[in-house]
């Protein structure tokens, strides 16, 4: 027999099987999820959720698709948070801390509370990569923030109003365009795509049934 636990979704109590994730528990309770469910496999960041266990003072953050329910869990989803996104031309941008001072000056108001790191659904050291951004160390900022899924939970908890994911995105773009070593193999492949070398192959693949595509994928040659 299934064991049930009590959860509170937006304040309303439901009894759900204990093996469910928060996302599937919401569906079990009758919610029809058409937004904030994305890939449903733990990495798109669309199902950002905050919760608290009854009797525990700590407010925690997670992704609903990969976090199992617990007894007396109070749940509220945060599928969208309005991050500040500044416009810029990556082809004409200073590769120094001056760009951060110009576009995201709020990072210099960081008070070091570490709420961003504590709330990160990917367990990234968010405060550290913001410190790298402050110093104009875009390579380290890009590396530290590489697994960010831009769920926005860190920004929702920040008293300084920093849009951490957008700051990290800018650092990764600068690093990719100006600092990271070039990849001749990648550049050659992009040229081949632009020249239409794979158009016929792609069109042929699009005509194949799903089962055949799955078999081709499972038996593909993988470069060492």
Q: pLDDT at position 1, please?
A: 62
In 10 A of CB 37, how many CB atoms?
A: 17
Domain assignment of residue 205, given as a range? 192-217
**pTM of structure:** 0.80
Residue 156 belongs to some domain of the structure? yes
Paired strand residues for 7: 14, 73
CA distance 145 to 165: 8
**Same-domain pairing of 54 and 12:** yes
Residue 42 has pLDDT above 70, yes or no: no
Residue 102 belongs to some domain of the structure? yes
Residue 207, judged by CB atoms within 10 A of its CB (0-12, 13-18, 19+), counts as exposed
Which residue's structure tokens are 């919401």? 26
Average pLDDT, integer, range 46-74: 94
Residue 124 belongs to some domain of the structure? yes
Q: pLDDT at position 223, please?
A: 75
Structural domains counted in the chain = 3
Give first-to-last CA distance, the chain, whole Å.
Answer: 47
Contacts of 24 (CB under 8 A, 6+ apart): none
Q: pLDDT over 90 for what percent of the chain?
A: 83
Q: How confident is the model over 65-78, as pLDDT tens digits?
A: 999 999 999 999 98
Q: How confident is the model over 148-179, as pLDDT tens digits?
A: 999 999 999 999 999 999 999 999 999 999 99
Could you please report the per-residue DSSP string of 73-119?
EEEEE------------TTS--SSTHHHHHH-GGGGG-----HHHHH
Least confident interval from 42-51, 151-160, 169-178, 193-202: 42-51
**Same-domain pairing of 54 and 111:** no
């Amino acid at each position: 027999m299934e064991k049930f636990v009590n959860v509170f979704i937006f304040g309303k109590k439901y009894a759900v099987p204990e093996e469910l994730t928060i996302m599937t528990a919401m569906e079990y309770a009758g919610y029809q999820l058409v937004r904030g469910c994305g890939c449903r496999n733990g990495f798109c960041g669309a199902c950002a959720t905050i919760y608290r266990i009854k009797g525990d003072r700590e407010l925690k953050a997670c992704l609903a698709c990969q976090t199992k329910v617990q007894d007396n869990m109070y749940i509220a989803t945060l599928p969208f948070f309005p991050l500040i996104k500044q416009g810029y031309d990556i082809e004409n941008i200073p590769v120094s801390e001056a760009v951060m001072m110009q576009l995201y000056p709020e990072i210099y108001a960081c008070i070091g509370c570490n709420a961003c790191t504590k709330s990160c659904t990917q367990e990234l050291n968010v405060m550290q990569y913001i410190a790298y951004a402050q110093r104009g160390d875009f390579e380290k900022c890009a590396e530290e923030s590489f697994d960010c899924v831009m769920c926005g939970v860190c920004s929702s908890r920040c008293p300084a109003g920093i849009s951490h994911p957008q700051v990290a995105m800018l650092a990764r773009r600068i690093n990719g365009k100006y600092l990271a070593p070039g990849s001749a193999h990648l550049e050659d492949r992009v040229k081949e795509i632009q020249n239409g070398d794979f158009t016929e192959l792609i069109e042929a693949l699009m005509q194949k049934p799903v089962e055949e595509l799955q078999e081709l994928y499972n038996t593909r040659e993988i470069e060492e």
